Amino acid sequence: MIATMGEDAAAGPAPVLEPGADVDHFRVIRLLGEGGMGQVWLARDMRLGRKVALKIVGPHRLDSADARARFRREAEATARFSHPNIVTLYEVGETGGVPYVALEMIEGDTLRDRLGRERPSLRQALETGHAVASATCEAHRHGVLHLDLKPANVIIGRDGRARVVDFGLARRIAAPVRYDDDGDDRASPFDEDDDARSAVVDEPLPGHVGTPRYMAPEQWHTGHETTATHV
């Protein structure tokens, strides 16, 4: 599948979409998966002929302001990037009052699934780690913290290239990180018209700010700033 909406759900409510339905110029093919936040459908762009992953807020979360806000954050964050190791966002829209995003369809596995099947070689581990680090640096350059980096949010395509997905928990930081040619990081302020704000965790509950075993230590503590710099 292309992207995750939290951990997979064993069972869920009846889908909002169904195979054969048209969502603007996208034709729905089949459900790829769903989780706590919503659903991911395989669809075809009838204008360009390419397959896409259509991600929507789940029917059980339509009245949730938090779910809609998270969905909006993901779209806004993903739209900022053009990077080989970050999933590409094609379009944002709404169908029947349900917001959706059309994302790059990646044929492959999540890193979580792959690790569950086999132990990677040293070279594979280094290549994947480098790809994720490169994607993270790109996000930091744009003043965005992913805040939920984990194997389930890394897709490895059949081409072998890893992509980071699911920026639903992403937050803006007051000063995006700019990297010098030698690799050192340095901070510079947002433009004056940018809606900059510190990435301070408002709630200490792990379920609200990330996945516990992959969270940075400061994410566990109320009021602690989560930054993009390295200690």
Q: How far is CA 188 from CA 32, 64, 170, 196, in A?
A: 40, 35, 19, 12
Per-position pLDDT tens, the chain of length 231:
343 344 443 444 555 689 999 999 999 999 998 776 778 999 999 999 999 999 988 766 667 777 777 778 778 888 888 999 999 999 998 887 788 999 999 999 999 999 999 999 999 999 999 999 999 999 998 888 888 899 999 999 999 999 999 887 777 775 555 555 555 554 443 333 343 333 333 333 333 456 777 777 766 665 556 666 543
What is the full DSSP assignment across 97-158?
TEEEEEEE---EEEHHHHHHH-PPPHHHHHHHHHHHHHHHHHHHHTTEE----SGGGEEEET
Model pLDDT, residue 203: 34
Query: What six digits make up the tokens of 4?
Result: 């995750």
User: Within its chain, how far is the Cα of 103 from the centroid?
Assistant: 10
Model pLDDT, residue 210: 66
Instruction: Report how far residue 146's alpha carbon sits from residue 6's, in angstroms, rounded to the nearest whole number.
Output: 14
Longest dimension (CA), the chain: 52
Place of tokens 């930054």: 227
Model pLDDT, residue 129: 96
Model pLDDT, residue 174: 57
Domains of the chain and CATH, by start: 22-104 (3.30.200.20), 108-220 (1.10.510.10)
Query: What six digits make up the tokens of 137?
Result: 């640096």
> Could you list the active site residues?
148
Instruction: Report how far residue 3's alpha carbon sits from residue 102's, in angstroms, rounded to the nearest whole number.
Output: 11
Extended strands (E) in 166-205:
171-172, 177-179, 185-187
Report the predicted TM-score, pTM, of the whole model to 2 decimal places.
0.71
Model pLDDT, residue 25: 95
Query: What six digits make up the tokens of 200?
Result: 């301070």
Counting every residue, how long is the chain? Answer: 231
At residue 184, the 3 state secondary structure works out as: coil
In the β-sheet with 162-164, what is the strand arrangement from edge to edge? 108-110, 154-157, 162-164
Model pLDDT, residue 17: 84
pLDDT one-digit tens code per residue, 186-196:
444 333 334 33
Instruction: Report how far residue 142's alpha carbon sits from residue 155's, in angstroms, rounded to the nearest whole number.
Output: 21
Instruction: Report how far residue 41's alpha carbon sits from residue 192's, in angstroms, rounded to the nearest whole number.
Output: 38
